[in-house]
Amino acid sequence: MTKLWGGRFAKPTAELVRQFNDSLRFDLRLYNEDIDGSKAWATAHVATGVLTADEAVTIHHGLEQVRAEIASGTFTVAAGDEDVHTAVERRLTELVGSVGGKLHTGRSRNDQVATDFRLWTKRACGDVLAHLRTLQHALITHAEAHAAVPLPGYTHLQHAQPVTWGHWLLSHFWPLVRDAQRFEQALAQADESPLGAGALAGTAFPIDRAALAAELGFGRASPNSLDAVSSRDFAADFLYASAMLGLHLSRLAEQLILFSTTEFGFVRLDDAYSTGSSLMPQKKNPDTLELTRGKSGRLLGHLLALLTTLKGLPSSYDKDLQEDKEPVFDAYDNLLIILPVMSGVIETLTIRPERMAAQLEPNLLATDLADYLVKRGLPFREAHHAVGEVVQLGEQTNTPITELSTAALQAIHPLFGADVAEVLTVEYALAQRRATGGTAPEAVAEQLAAAKKLLGSA
């Protein structure tokens, strides 16, 4: 089988070069989009007079047959099938005869691949968004079920102030809302049809590009042929959205790994979502979470790889652009397993409120003790200093600050009263933070309602 572009060559391509150049092994997965694009192109050529209506029907039928062969695994690759575009056209021509050779009129693989890849990326964004929604739903359900369970909140991974499990878990919901917006943005960027841009300078046939774009479900046709075959901004947008999502899931995974350690013991992973050790019989390892954390590395890397490929390119199409697909495919494939795994982890996660309660030591309430003095008129800076002394006294006398006598407190500052004990409870500390986004039961309820509304599940 001769190559589609073999006419001007006196020698065959070296085998090594063929292997280096070919992309069929990874771009065959664009076959549906390639066939959809070709069918629309054939339809557009009825209007230009290049194809008769009958010829377009013949081409459509042939393309559907190629689709069925690839889908069923009966398609055989021939020598000379460089990429999905050449493979589909070669097989079409075998099936329908020389009319198949009319299909490529006024078109180039340059506008073809950009079209296919945009169509694919649009669908990929939709798939990721659907899985993301499921995970968001799992987070909301779990957060609601344990909305008021108190645990220590951390800064610098040191005890800071009490929070609740529902509040903490929702802190991992909101980043995913922003991730969803980024995927929607990537979808909107991909929603532009390059078809009809030709190799670089446009097509010499009177194609109605707007109608063609609409036929393929694109929102618009690209306004400049050079930019149309050159731009992979939409792929970079997809990879940025993937990198940020990977990063967020990695942080959630990291914290759940920490919380599942013997030392913390705040959560238990379900047996179905953990794995064992081949040597140590007692082990239950959070491999699901570790892989989520680990795979974020490649998600970040793919973004950098594509940006680096793009940065030095002269205008229009360069073969470097063939490097655009594998990072995007790999990011997609990984997200489509990471997301359902994380949903399963959250849906089956058990929390251990007694272990959280055991860590609720009185120093977590030091800020509330300072606020107590502020409410009695003391400037916050002075209150902060006084409570610092209280904490020091507690440490020196090995007494929790909640058990220091009123007299001992008053010796540090006269504004301390006998009612301090009322303030120094976790419930009180949580309940004080009523402002939007805080830990008070009504604020958490408000947050849950907002999260549900956003997901359309309220």
Question: Using the rule CB under 6 A, which residue among 44, 113, 244, 356 binds ligand ARG?
Answer: 113
Q: Between 85 and 146, whose beta carbon lies closer to ligand ARG?
A: 85
Distances in Å between the Cα of 377 and the Cα atoms of 372, 381, 418 are 9, 12, 17
Q: For residue 399, which phi and psi values (nearest 5 degrees)?
A: -120, 130
Size of the site for ligand ARG (CB under 6 A): 9
| Torsion sign, CA atoms 27, 29, 35, 36 | negative
Residue 302 annotated in active site: no
Most distant CA pair in the chain: distance in Å? 102
Burial zone of 81 (CB within 10 Å; 0-12 exposed, 13-18 middle, 19+ buried): buried
Q: Which of 163, 321, 349, 365 binds ligand ARG (CB under 6 A)?
A: 321
The one catalytic residue among 61, 277, 315, 457: 277
Task: Name the residue among 109, 94, 110, 123 with its Cα closest to residue 29.
Answer: 123
**Whole-number Cα distances in Å, 329 to 62, 301, 325:** 28, 13, 6
Told to check if 191 binds ligand ARG by CB under 6 A, we report no
Q: Which of 33, 34, 81, 83 binds ligand ARG (CB under 6 A)?
A: 83
Residue 115 interacting with ligand ARG (CB under 6 A): no
Min separation Cβ 332 and ligand ARG, Å: 16
Contact between residue 286 and residue 257 where contact means Cβ atoms under 8 Å apart = yes
Catalytic residue among 23, 45, 131, 156: 156
- Nearer to ligand ARG by Cβ, of 113 and 169: the residue is 113
Q: Is residue 13 close enough to count as binding ligand ARG by CB under 6 A?
A: no
> Which residue from 277, 95, 246 is spatially nearest to 182, judged by alpha carbons?
246
User: Which one, 13 or 367, has the nearer CB to ligand ARG?
Assistant: 13
* 109 lines the binding site for ligand ARG (CB under 6 A): yes
146 part of the active site: no
Contacts of 66 (CB under 8 A, 6+ apart): 31, 35, 75, 88, 91, 92, 95
Q: For residue 358, give every residue at least 6 positions away whose Cβ sits within 8 Å of its Cβ, in sequence order, or none.
A: none
Only one of the segments 230-238, 315-323, 365-373, 410-418 lies at the binding site for ligand ARG (rule: CB under 6 A); that segment is 315-323
The reply to whether 23 sits near ligand ARG by the rule CB under 6 A is yes
39: number of Cβ within 10 Å: 20
Q: Is 363 in the site for ligand ARG (CB under 6 A)?
A: no
Cβ proximity of 341 and 272 under 8 Å: no
**Contact letters (x/-) for ligand ARG, 429-448, by CB under 6 A?**
--------------------
The alpha helices in 200-286, defined as continuous H runs, are 209-215, 225-230, 233-259
User: Taking the CA of residue 215 as centre, how many other CA atoms within 13 Å lie in the half-sphere pointing to its CB?
Assistant: 19
**Residue among 7 and 49 whose Cβ is closer to ligand ARG:** 7
- Rule CB under 6 A: say whether 90 interacts with ligand ARG: no
In this structure, what token pair is assigned to residue 348?
């089956």
Name which of 222 and 255 has its Cβ closer to ligand ARG.
222
Nearer CB in complex with ligand ARG: 32/322: 322
Query: Does the footprint of ligand ARG cover residue 27 (CB under 6 A)?
Result: yes
Is 289 among the residues that bind ligand ARG (CB under 6 A)? no
The nearer residue to ligand ARG, 85 or 182, going by C-beta atoms, is 85
Q: Could you say whether residue 322 binds ligand ARG (CB under 6 A)?
A: yes
Nearest-approach distance from CB 106 to ligand ARG, in angstroms: 15
Taking 3-state DSSP, the helix, strand and coil percentages for the chain, each rounded to the nearest 5, stand at: 65, 5, 30
Instruction: Please give the positions annotated as active site.
Output: 156, 277
Residues engaged in binding ligand ARG (CB under 6 A):
23, 27, 83, 109-110, 113, 317, 321-322
